[in-house]
Amino acid sequence: MKLVHDPIHGHIELDDFAVRLVDTPEFQRLRRITQLGLAFLAYPSARHTRFEHSLGTFHLAKKIAGYNPEIDDGAVYAALLHDLGHYPFSHTLETLYPRHEENTKWFIRHGEIGDAVRERYSLGEFLKFLKHPLVSGDIDADRMDYLVRDAYYTGAAYGLVDLDRLVRNLLWKDGMLIVREKGVIAAQNLLLARSMMYPTVYQHHVSKIAGSMLTKAVELEGIPFDEIRTMDEVDLIARLRASERAEVRELIAAIDSRRLYKRVLYTDKDPGEKAVDELRRELDAEFGHLVLVDYPPKPKFEEKNAFVRTETGLKRLSEVSPLVRSLVELKDTHWRWGVYARADVVERVKALVGKLLPLRD
């Protein structure tokens, strides 16, 4: 057994099998994958990594399972490994490559960590646990850890949730992790916290601009999936700095020195995917890597899988909590798409965008 100091949970206990999993190159690689990608350019203190988050998720999963002994312990170890496949800078590059969940499975199948897993589980069995409600539901150990941790590291005072009360009031029943009535307010606050962190941290424009720049650099460099999937942030940045293409070197130098592109357009008016694609083509033809179009998917706050046990049977959390219902209804509120350009071409880009997309406001 090993104890790890953690500012969020105090001490995290790792049993021998957890230590076995943590002490593999694949897991240690997570120390070099920043939890919030490039958000540190807006929140300098946000330097925490997927490594600490994975330990914290494991810790909460274990506590929840402690109150619900019927939960298979495989699900608890899956909580530890659920983020193994993240690319450098976490979600930033997921527009170019398959979702990280696929890569997590690949690591477990082919990495040294898979040997460790097989000492206790069949691989097929274990991979299924990655979809367990303990770690991939609407109210789960993953979300509970990251919201509180991200708030701590960004210094965002909001985002705090009564984790202890929530953990004590999760009930494992019929393959679902259900909230007891005494936990409704804590669960609601978890979702509220998420919606508060969304615009101020997760969708901060600095983070989005820098992310678009990095994505463009990686795209221009043409790093194949087979290479990116095992890279850490050192590998990626070093590769881009050493690129043969001047544009790539320019982009990574700009990120390094925080000389970011400016917003030419930043709006919640959605002209539709087709119009945006056309705009992207035109801008690309004219300005190349000096202009970036960032048109993210709409966020989901469906909360379809958050259930509450009430006296009159199971209900969706959104039925029980009017505030959660509002969150579901308001899910697009903070969505924005943008056009970003290097400072020296902003005016020219603005003119062209105005011509191509006259409906912009």
Q: Give contact residues for its own copies (rule: CB under 8 A).
A: 3-8, 10-11, 23-25, 28-29, 31-32, 40, 42-45, 47-49, 51-52, 55, 152-158, 160-165, 168, 185, 189, 192, 195-196, 199-200, 233-235, 237-238, 241, 253, 256-259, 322-323, 326-327, 329-330, 333
Amino acid of residue 60: L
**Short-list 336, 330, 216, 213, CA closest to 271:** 336
Contact indicator for 245, 221 with CB cutoff of 8 Å:
yes
Cβ neighbours of residue 325 under 8 Å, at least 6 residues apart?
318, 319
Q: How far is the CB of 4 from its own copies (least distance, A)?
A: 6
Residue (132 or 233) nearer to its own copies, CB: 233
Contact indicator for 323, 313 with CB cutoff of 8 Å:
no
H or E stretch at 61: helix 50-67
**Short-list 43, 21, 22, 23, CA closest to 34:** 43
Residue (203 or 305) nearer to its own copies, CB: 203
State how beta strands 313-316 and 307-310 pair: antiparallel
Q: How far is the CB of 148 from its own copies (least distance, A)?
A: 9
Backbone angles phi, psi at 258, to 5 degrees: 55, 45
**Short-list 193, 147, 198, CA closest to 333:** 198
Q: How far is the CB of 258 from its own copies (least distance, A)?
A: 5
**Which two tokens mark 171?**
């009930």
Residue (265 or 352) nearer to its own copies, CB: 265
H or E stretch at 154: helix 141-154
Compute the distance between CA of residue 56 and CA of residue 143 in angstroms, rounded to an integer.
10
**Which two tokens mark 152?**
């701590």
Residue (128 or 165) nearer to its own copies, CB: 165
Residue (125 or 181) nearer to its own copies, CB: 181
**Short-list 11, 36, 61, CA closest to 210:** 36
Residue (173 or 259) nearer to its own copies, CB: 259
Residue (46 or 292) nearer to its own copies, CB: 46
Residue (160 or 356) nearer to its own copies, CB: 160
Q: How far is the CB of 319 from its own copies (least distance, A)?
A: 13
Q: How far is the CB of 304 from its own copies (least distance, A)?
A: 19
Q: How far is the CB of 186 from its own copies (least distance, A)?
A: 8
Cβ neighbours of residue 302 under 8 Å, at least 6 residues apart?
138, 328, 331
Q: How far is the CB of 72 from its own copies (least distance, A)?
A: 26
Could you give the 3-state DSSP secondary structure of residue 264?
A: strand
Q: How far is the CB of 130 from its own copies (least distance, A)?
A: 22
For residue 272, count other CB atoms closer than 10 A to its CB. Answer: 9
Q: How far is the CB of 228 from its own copies (least distance, A)?
A: 16
Residue (162 or 278) nearer to its own copies, CB: 162
